[in-house]
């Protein structure tokens, strides 16, 4: 039996793309290959030219600048999605941010401002985006976000970002329950360490990345393409019946304590 994923006629909005290394882009590549039409949210004007180049080879794509924490800009994004697509089948949330200071010292010293920023940008925007998307979502639509294992175990320096990811995972379950009646699915992908702009800004990320490669079951880190493929599964009909879940794509890193010989 052969299975092919055809997303021709389906529409997707990917929130949070900086460049070709972004996990949002890795997911979009899979959706585009399967024939979907894709719109993108990016945060800063300085990225426009690069994103235009990245999306130019793909007819039917569009990009829109906006801050996901700004309700008016979020409303404008979904208005654009309505104009471009009419309805939406897939929503990808690939956004996270914590102030650098909150990831350098002790978790104990997290300020209320840094706490609010990290949770607002990295977790609440999933909820607000889902709410804005609701009127556009077709029955059977699918929402996917990106999380990290620091939500479950202490990872040095992740600090308030670990808490934000725990909130994102819990929000995934509550959203899945709210959307359940229409069989709209909400899941989050827990990715292993990947070299992206956001990751490089985390103190000690290089060491974490190298350790990940040594200690995982596969003896390497997962790739952004593998994240894209899991997202394709969850966003397409292949993932029907799966909702409210945190699914790992980390080459078997989170299952290991210490690997023999490392
Ligand atoms: P990335 O390329 O830097 O993507 C993160 C994106 O979030 C950037 O485009 C960033 O825009 C955007 N963003 C931040 N605040 C925003 C806001 N208020 N409004 C709109 N966009 C905003 O890095 P990435 O690693 O692919 O991150 C994507 C997701 O994967 C994040 O949720 C991250 O936590 C998760 N993740 C990453 C890893 C990893 O090792 N890389 C592992 C597990 C999970 P700017 O560039 O303008 O700041």
pLDDT in tens, 27-65: 999 999 999 999 999 999 999 999 999 999 999 999 999
Q: Is the CB of 64 under 6 A from ligand 1?
A: no
What are the phi and psi torsion angles at 187 (to 5°)? -140, 160
Question: For residues 204 and 193, what is the distance between their CA atoms, to the nearest angstrom?
Answer: 12
The predicted model gives 137-155 an average pLDDT of 97
Active site residue 148: yes
Q: Is the CB of 22 under 6 A from ligand 1?
A: yes
Nearest-atom index, ligand 1, CA of 191: 43
The predicted model gives 74-92 an average pLDDT of 98
Q: Which of 86, 64, 73, 74 lies closest to 11 in space, CA to CA?
A: 86
Residue nearest to atom 11 of ligand 1 (CA): 43
In the block, tokens 């800004």 appear at 201
User: To the nearest whole percent, how much of the chain has pLDDT over 90?
Assistant: 94
Contact 94, 24 (CB under 8 A): yes
197 CA from centroid of ligand 1 (Å): 8
Nearest-atom index, ligand 1, CA of 19: 2
Active site residue 158: yes
Domain boundary assignment for the chain: 11-255
What are the phi and psi torsion angles at 177 (to 5°)? -70, -45
- How many Cβ atoms from other residues are within 10 Å of residue 194's Cβ? 24
Whether 262 shows a pLDDT value over 80: the answer reads no
Q: Is the CB of 95 under 6 A from ligand 1?
A: yes
Nearest-atom index, ligand 1, CA of 145: 32
Question: For residues 48 and 44, what is the distance between their CA atoms, to the nearest angstrom?
Answer: 7
Nearest-atom index, ligand 1, CA of 69: 18
Both tokens of 68, joined, read 């996901």
HEC profile for the chain?
CCCCCCCCCCEEEEECCCCCCCHHHHHHHHHHHCCCEEEEEECCHHHHHHHHHHHCCCCCCEEEECCCCCHHHHHHHHHHHHHHHCCEEEEEECCCCCCHHHHCCCHHHCCHHHHHHHHHHHHHHHHHHHHHHHHHEEEEEEEEEEECHHHCCCCCCCHHHHHHHHHHHHHHHHHHHHHHHHCCEEEEEEECCCCCHHHHCCCCHHHHHHHHHHHCCCCCCCCHHHHHHHHHHHHCHHHCCCCCCEEEECCCCCCCCCCCCC
Question: For residues 184 and 175, what is the distance between their CA atoms, to the nearest angstrom?
Answer: 9
The predicted model gives 70-94 an average pLDDT of 98
Contact 177, 235 (CB under 8 A): no
Share the mean pLDDT of the chain.
96
pLDDT in tens, 230-250: 999 999 999 999 999 999 999
Whether 79 shows a pLDDT value over 90: the answer reads yes
From the list 42, 124, 158, 174, the catalytic residue is 158
* pLDDT confidence band for 1 (50 / 70 / 90): low
Q: Is the CB of 51 under 6 A from ligand 1?
A: no
Q: Identify the weakest region by mean pLDDT among 122-131, 149-158, 198-207.
A: 198-207
User: To the nearest whole percent, how much of the chain has pLDDT over 70?
Assistant: 99
The answer to pTM > 0.85 is yes
| CATH superfamily to which 11-255 belongs | NAD(P)-binding Rossmann-like Domain (3.40.50.720)
From the list 42, 124, 148, 248, the catalytic residue is 148
Whether 143 shows a pLDDT value over 70: the answer reads yes
């Amino acid at each position: 039996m052969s299975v092919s994923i055809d997303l021709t006629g389906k529409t997707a909005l990917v929130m949070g793309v900086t460049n070709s290394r972004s996990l949002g882009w890795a997911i979009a590549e899979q959706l585009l290959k399967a024939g979907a039409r894709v719109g993108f949210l990016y945060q800063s004007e300085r990225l426009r030219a690069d994103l235009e180049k990245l999306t130019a080879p793909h007819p039917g794509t569009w990009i829109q600048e906006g801050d996901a924490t700004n309700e008016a800009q979020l409303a404008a994004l979904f208005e654009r999605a309505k104009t471009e697509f009419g309805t939406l089948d897939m929503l990808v949330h690939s956004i996270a941010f914590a102030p650098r200071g909150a990831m350098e010292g002790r978790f104990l010293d997290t300020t209320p401002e840094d706490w609010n920023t990290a949770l607002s940008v990295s977790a609440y925007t999933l909820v607000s985006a889902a709410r804005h998307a609701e009127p556009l979502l077709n029955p059977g639509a699918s929402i996917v976000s990106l999380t990290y294992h620091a939500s479950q175990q202490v990872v040095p320096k992740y600090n308030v970002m670990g808490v934000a990811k725990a909130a994102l995972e819990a929000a995934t379950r509550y959203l899945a329950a709210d959307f359940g009646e229409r069989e709209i699915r909400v899941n989050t992908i827990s990715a292993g360490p990947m070299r992206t702009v956001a990751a490089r800004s985390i103190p000690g990320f290089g060491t974490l990345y190298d350790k990940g490669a040594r200690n995982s079951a596969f003896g390497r880190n997962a790739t952004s393409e593998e994240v894209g493929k899991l997202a394709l599964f969850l966003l397409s009909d292949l993932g029907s019946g799966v909702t409210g879940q945190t699914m790992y794509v980390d080459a078997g890193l989170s299952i290991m304590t210490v690997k023999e010989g490392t």
